[in-house]
């Protein structure tokens, strides 16, 4: 892979080449990407979507929106740090093409801002609820009407692939969705492969998948423009990761490791003294003991350690990326940046405690169970209505459901098409919207 291609400013539908050297510095194309994401309805909906704790009304607990903003800030720092060194190593990027180190920060920030935009309500349990409906629930009836890859898209419903769909799908007559630059879309594609084969290797890019069958053609166009290179010799879609994807992933890893942990402390689920000890173990090389001891409030101590931990991990991830740049460009770097960190043991300790005290807490489990019930019921209602309508067998109730559905899509030509529309609609609901719609369909008073 070559940086000149990887930093493409091209957008869907472009007929002329966009040159960096001709860009308006006050309105750089990569910064336009950030603006388009932050003003989109899909991004705004993240304010009422679960990060860890579904349907939480506690003000200091993170939603997907606050998490995404924080990941974006960390990603921008990572991109700028790395970008400065890359321009020193590849000066032609600046002298010939006009790139600045802030370009890297802008691309990573925009991709990081969008990284959770495709997640369904109720966190990762929402993805599992949708998949389970088609694998073990009533949705299994559609299996024989779909190709293997189409069915896998549903039984392994993936927020990353749904995010790519949201960012690129033509809606309401607007071609190409948000029309982000190919560089930003490439950095967004955490798992640049289709749903089958599942986990063909231990490479980090094969851990999940990142594109539904409905978007494969544009997906291939982006990969070709960026020069990602096909990793498969067996005919299925699987590309090398865009190098900046590793920075987007690192920003996410840093934030959920440290900030989810902080939420658990603020909720009282993790004992404060115990938690501070874990954070001190992570930052002990950089802590200013005198300054720390002067902090009398526990909230100030926690904020200091959190800031120090994030800064330490930004420096660590940047250094690992730069040390392995050649392997990353060759597609040979096969793990997350922080998996090679000298702080991995400390990170693993924090994650282990978070899993025990937060992700598997009774409150989270109870609300995830409720989320399963809500999403399963909605899926059954909508898929049945569309199925009957598609087969000219709609009841009056089915017709009412379809009429209430503002799909803004072309006429649906296949079973896969209407199932994907149903899944996309439901995954686009917020936690609160999903609960309200569930109650409405159940006939409960509002």
pLDDT, one tens digit for every residue, the chain (446 residues): 999 999 999 998 888 889 888 888 888 889 999 999 999 999 999 998 877 665 555 555 678 899 999 999 999 999 999 999 999 999 999 999 999 999 999 999 999 999 999 999 988 889 999 999 999 999 999 999 999 999 999 999 999 999 999 999 977 666 778 999 999 999 999 999 999 999 999 999 999 999 999 999 999 999 999 999 999 878 899 999 999 999 999 999 999 899 888 888 888 888 888 788 889 989 988 898 888 888 888 888 888 999 999 999 999 999 999 999 999 999 999 999 999 999 999 999 999 998 888 888 887 888 888 889 999 999 999 999 999 999 999 999 998 888 877 655 556 789 999 999 999 999 999 999 999 999 988 877 65
Maximum CA extent, the chain:
75
DSSP one-letter string for 324-352:
THHHHHTT---S-GGGG-TTHHHHHHHHH
Q: Are 405 and 382 in contact (CB under 8 A)?
A: yes
Q: Is the peptide bond before 197 cis (omega within 30 degrees of 0)?
A: yes
* Helices 344-354 & 272-283 angle (0-180, nearest 10): 160
Q: How far apart are CA 230 and CA 51, in angstroms?
A: 33
Looking at residue 214, its pLDDT comes to 95
Q: Are 34 and 114 in contact (CB under 8 A)?
A: no
The residues with which 171 forms a beta bridge, in sequence order, are: 174
Q: What is the pTM of this model?
A: 0.94
- Burial (CB < 10 A; 0-12, 13-18, 19+), residue 233, is exposed
CB-side exposure of 271: number of CA atoms within 13 Å? 3
Looking at residue 446, its pLDDT comes to 57
Q: Are 422 and 382 in contact (CB under 8 A)?
A: yes
Q: How far apart are CA 351 and CA 361, in angstroms?
A: 14
Q: Are 52 and 367 in contact (CB under 8 A)?
A: no
Q: Are 100 and 406 in contact (CB under 8 A)?
A: no
Looking at residue 174, its pLDDT comes to 65
DSSP one-letter string for 240-286:
PPPTTHHHHHHHHHHHHHHHHHHHHHHTTSS-HHHHHHHHHHHHTTT
Q: Tell me if residue 193 falls in helix, strand or coil.
A: strand
Q: How far apart are CA 403 and CA 324, in angstroms?
A: 54
Architecture per CATH, 1-120+157-360: Orthogonal Bundle (1.10)
Q: Are 109 and 76 in contact (CB under 8 A)?
A: yes
User: Where would I find the H helices in 189-244?
Assistant: 216-226
> Which DSSP symbol is given to 203?
S
Looking at residue 411, its pLDDT comes to 66
- Burial (CB < 10 A; 0-12, 13-18, 19+), residue 192, is buried
- Burial (CB < 10 A; 0-12, 13-18, 19+), residue 410, is exposed
Looking at residue 62, its pLDDT comes to 77
Cβ neighbours for 42, distance < 8 A, ≥ 6 positions apart: 117, 166, 428
User: Where would I find the H helices in 324-444?
Assistant: 325-329, 344-354, 362-390, 396-403, 415-427, 431-441
Dihedral over Cα of 64, 69, 74, 78: its sign: positive
């Amino acid at each position: 892979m070559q940086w000149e291609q990887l930093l493409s400013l091209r957008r869907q539908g472009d007929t002329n080449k966009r040159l960096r050297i001709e860009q308006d510095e006050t309105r750089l194309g990569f910064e336009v990407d950030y603006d388009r994401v932050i003003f989109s309805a899909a991004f705004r909906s993240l304010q009422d979507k679960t990060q860890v704790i579904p349907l939480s009304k506690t003000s200091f607990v993170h939603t997907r929106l606050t998490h995404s903003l924080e990941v974006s800030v960390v990603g921008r720092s990572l991109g700028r740090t790395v970008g400065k060194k890359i321009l020193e190593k590849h000066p032609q990027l600046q002298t010939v093409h006009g790139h600045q180190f802030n370009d890297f920060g802008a691309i990573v920030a925009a991709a990081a801002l969008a990284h959770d935009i495709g997640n369904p309500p109720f966190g990762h349990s929402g993805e599992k609820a949708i998949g389970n409906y088609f694998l073990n629930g009533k949705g299994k009836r559609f299996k024989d009407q779909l190709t293997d890859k189409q069915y896998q898209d549903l039984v392994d419903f993936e927020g990353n692939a749904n995010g790519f769909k949201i960012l690129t799908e033509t809606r309401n007559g607007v071609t190409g969705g948000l029309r982000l630059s190919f560089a930003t879309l490439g950095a967004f594609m955490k798992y640049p492969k289709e749903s089958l084969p599942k986990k063909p290797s231990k490479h980090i890019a094969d851990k999940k998948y990142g594109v539904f069958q409905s978007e494969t053609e544009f997906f291939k166009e982006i990969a070709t423009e960026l020069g990602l290179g096909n990793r498969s010799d067996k005919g299925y879609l699987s590309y090398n990761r865009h190098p900046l994807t590793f920075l987007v992933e690192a920003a996410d890893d840093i934030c959920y490791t440290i900030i989810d942990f902080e939420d658990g402390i603020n909720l009282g689920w993790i004992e404060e003294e115990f938690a501070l000890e874990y954070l001190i173990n992570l930052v002990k090389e950089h802590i200013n003991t005198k300054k720390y001891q002067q902090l009398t409030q526990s909230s100030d101590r926690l904020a200091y350690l959190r800031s120090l931990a994030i800064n330490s991990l930004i420096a660590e991830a940047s250094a690992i990326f730069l040390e392995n740049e050649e392997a990353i460009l060759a597609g040979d770097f096969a793990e997350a940046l922080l998996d090679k960190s000298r702080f991995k043991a400390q990170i693993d300790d924090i994650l282990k405690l978070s899993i025990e005290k937060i992700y598997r807490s009774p409150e989270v489990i109870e609300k995830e169970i409720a989320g399963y019930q809500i999403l399963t019921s909605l899926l059954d209602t909508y898929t049945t209505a569309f199925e009957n309508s598609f087969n000219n067998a709609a009841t009056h109730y089915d017709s009412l459901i379809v009429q209430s559905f503002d799909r803004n899509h072309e006429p649906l030509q296949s079973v896969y098409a209407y199932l994907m529309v149903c899944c996309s609609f439901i995954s686009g609901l917020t936690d609160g919207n999903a609960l309200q719609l569930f109650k409405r369909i159940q006939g409960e008073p509002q």
